[in-house]
Amino acid sequence: DAKTTQPPSMDCAEGRAANLPCNHSTISGNEYVYWYRQIHSQGPQYIIHGLKNNETNEMASLIITEDRKSSTLILPHATLRDTAVYYCIVKSSSNTGKLIFGQGTTLQVK
């Protein structure tokens, strides 16, 4: 399973875009990049996932580099409610469905 590296913490001003980076240099060709977030005292919330192309939904955008070795989650207009721990996960390509969480990035919106 590919490992991910994220900065432990980031700050963002309310109303500005939050750009959360993730490195996954050992990702395999058929492994997806997933982003989840966990607000205090709640379960992880699915945000978005992608394979090669950039993806956008109502919550966020996911930008994956052409070599797939890194990605960026973009929250276009961060609010105080976006304060959370954000996890970037490369999902196992084996037939197990396992999610292996790293330490994540604590995003503080001020």
Instruction: Find the binder of another protein among 55, 61, 99, 108 (CB under 8 A).
Output: 99
Q: Which is nearer to another protein, 78 or 85 (CB)?
A: 85
Minimum distance, C-beta of residue 11 to another protein, in the bound complex (Å):
19
3-class SS at 81?
helix
Site for another protein, residues 41 to 70, rule: CB under 8 A: 41-46, 49, 51
Neighbours of 40 (CB within 10 A): 7
Determine, following the binding rule CB under 8 A, whether residue 77 of this chain makes contact with another protein: no
- 64 vs 51: CA distance, rounded Å: 8
Whole-Å CA distances, 54 to 12, 41, 97: 22, 31, 23
Residues that bind another protein (CB under 8 A): 30-32, 34, 36, 41-46, 49, 51, 87, 91-104
